[in-house]
Structure 1
Amino acid sequence: MLQLRNVETYYGGIQALKGIDVLVDKGEIVTLIGSNGAGKSTTLKSVSGLVKIQNGSIVYNETEVSNKPAHETTLLGIAHVPEGRRIFPKLSVKENLLMGAFSVKNKSVIDQRMEKVFRYFPKLKDRLEQKGGTMSGGEQQMLAIGRALMMEPNLLMLDEPSMGLAPIIVEQIFEIIKELNQEGITILLVEQNAFQALQIAHRGYVIQTGEIKLQGKGNELLNNEEVREAYLA
């Protein structure tokens, strides 16, 4: 479904990605793990078009998407839930969700999608008129994922969905990620909680200073001594 080939991305004169290769097959959960500043978020931003790549190529469903604007990659079926959630704090829950369906004109389709979101996140249904910025961190994360699901994506990219959340909420979020995948959504997951990520991932990549250092099946990386010492200790 998604292939990054020799992708290089810079921020000014600083090279953030140094020729990385990443493959995501349809129906998989693939995770990128690594320390802060390793290039994980930049990888997702390169795919969604939030940052430009200088070299290499990004192919999604056999279509070249390198440096396409973010609104175009969204219309192709790629949804990106960024680090820090980035909901619209002054808009209500309902308005935030509707922003996720900006390209849909049919009200009945929008209503169907919203009901589907409520299946995963019933709390959101109870908070429809509440301002997004007044909710807890866990609820805001649910809203951010729900907004992405309103796009009915084929590929859902999640950037640090567990960041700053209580352990019980983290468990709920990861259960929902598994459920979304079982229902047919392919997932590319960036996560500092390497243990949680590798437990649910089919495959994973370890990224260090903009380079892929290791790759393998989730359970293989979970039991890799180098990975355990660096990220699971």
Structure 2
Amino acid sequence: MSLLQLRQVHAYYGRIEALKGVSLTVNEGEIVSLIGSNGAGKSTTLKAICGQVKIQGSVIFGGKDISAQPPHRTALEGIAHVPEGRRIFPRLTVKENLEMGAFSVKDKKKVKERTERAFSYFPRLKERYHQPGGTMSGGEQQMLAIARALMMQPKILLLDEPSMGLAPILVDQIFDIIQELNRGGMTILLVEQNAYQALQIAHRGYVIQTGDILMEDEARSLLANDQVKEAYLA
């Protein structure tokens, strides 16, 4: 069943057309990977979904057109965005960052339950509970960024370059956690420059280039595609 659809979405930065009619679908329970080179429009696609850029076209979430909604409304309806570069609050502790993720939850018991659930995925954060986020390693900060998004109890998680700047062993850990989240029922749209690993864990994938979707297919088929291999997997 379709959870998220983009229909002929155009997005602009001034006179520059960053998205040129992007259409894609994410079904419930899937990991869908969006791959492409720098400047292809990957991050802009996520921003378009969240209402962070003005668009032409439609974003349909749970059967509802959310194209004109402000970002905070979209977040409350169940779309959590983990942006490129993590963007945690560096002076706030892990505890305070997680509480910011649950800003709309008034029930303290629910906040505690969601915190414990986040710790089940990221036990290292429990060890850093009172530590300022900015003093942690890059991998730990990425874990905190994802955990903060989970505090919203989202219906879909949008991940933008979660492996960026991380050592290979930490990249493997992050991708293992993404798969674990998906096995737990989380729907995920993954933007990632590491095309091989992104397609390894995805059900389906899209290739975007200069604002256009070039191809879409099952992830395993994209991994075997000669054009994809030459451009993104070499």
TM-score range, shorter chain: over 0.9
User: Are residue 37 (structure 1) and residue 39 (structure 2) matched?
Assistant: yes
The structure 1 segments of at least 4 consecutive aligned residues displaced by more than 2 Å after TM superposition are: none
Residue of structure 1 in register with 2:167 after alignment: 166
Unaligned runs of 5+ in 2: none
- Alpha-carbon distance in 1 for matches of 2:220, 2:151: 31
Question: What are structure 1's unaligned runs of at least 5 residues?
Answer: none
The CA distance in 1 between the partners of 2:167 and 2:17, in whole Å, is 34
Q: For 2:108 and 2:127, locate their aligned partners in 1 and report how far apart those are by CA, in whole Å.
A: 20
Matches within 5 A, 1:135-146: 135-146=136-147
User: Whole-Å Cα distance in 1 between the matches of residues 69 and 172 of structure 2?
Assistant: 34
Alignment pair present for 1:190 and 2:191 = yes
Q: CA shift at 1:69, angstroms? A: 1.0
Letter in 2 for 1:120: Y
User: Aligned AA for 1:5?
Assistant: R
State the 1:173 CA deviation: 0.5
Tell me the matched-pair count.
232
Once residues 75 and 44 of structure 1 are traced to their aligned partners in structure 2, the CA distance between those partners, rounded to angstroms, is: 16
Q: Is 1:119 the counterpart of 2:120 in the alignment?
A: yes
TM-score normalised to the size of structure 2?
0.98
The letter for the 2-side match of 1:38 is A
User: Shift in Å at residue 89 of structure 1?
Assistant: 0.5
> 1:63 corresponds to which residue?
64
Structure 2 partner of 1:133: 134
User: Structure 1 counterpart of 2:183, which letter?
Assistant: Q
Residue in 2 that maps onto 1:79: 80
Name the aligned partner's letter for residue 204 of structure 1.
G
Shift of 1:51: 1.1
Q: Could you tell me how far apart the structure 2 residues matched to 1:146 and 1:79 are?
A: 11
Decide whether the 8 Å contact of 1:46 with 1:67 is kept in 2. Answer: no
The AA in structure 2 aligned to 1:206 is V
Residues in 2 aligned to 1:195 and 1:105: alpha-carbon distance in whole angstroms: 41
Distance 1:191 1:67 in 2: 26
* Residues 152-197 of structure 1: per-residue CA shift (max 9 Å, x gap): 0110000000000011111110011011011111000000000000
Q: Over residues 80-111 of structure 1, what are the superposed CA-to-partner deviations in whole Å (9 max), with x where a residue is unaligned? A: 00000000011111000000000000011000
Q: Which residue pairs with 1:221 in the alignment?
A: 222
Find the counterpart in structure 2 of residue 207 from structure 1: 208
Question: Matched residues in 2 for 1:13 and 1:95: separation?
Answer: 39
SS class of match (1:2): strand
- For residues 163 and 42 of structure 1, the distance between their equivalents in structure 2, rounded to whole angstroms, comes to 17
In the alignment, residue 102 of structure 1 is paired with which amino acid?
F
Instruction: Write the mapping of 1:171-182 to structure 2, written as runs, cut at 5 A.
Output: 171-182=172-183
Identity of aligned residues (%): 67
Instruction: Give the Cα–Cα distance (whole angstroms) in 1 for the partners of residues 210 and 168 of structure 2.
Output: 28
Match of 1:14 among 13, 16, 28: 16
Residue 92 of structure 2 corresponds to residue 91 of structure 1: yes
Kindly state the Cα deviation for residue 67 of structure 1 after the two structures are TM-superposed. Answer: 2.9
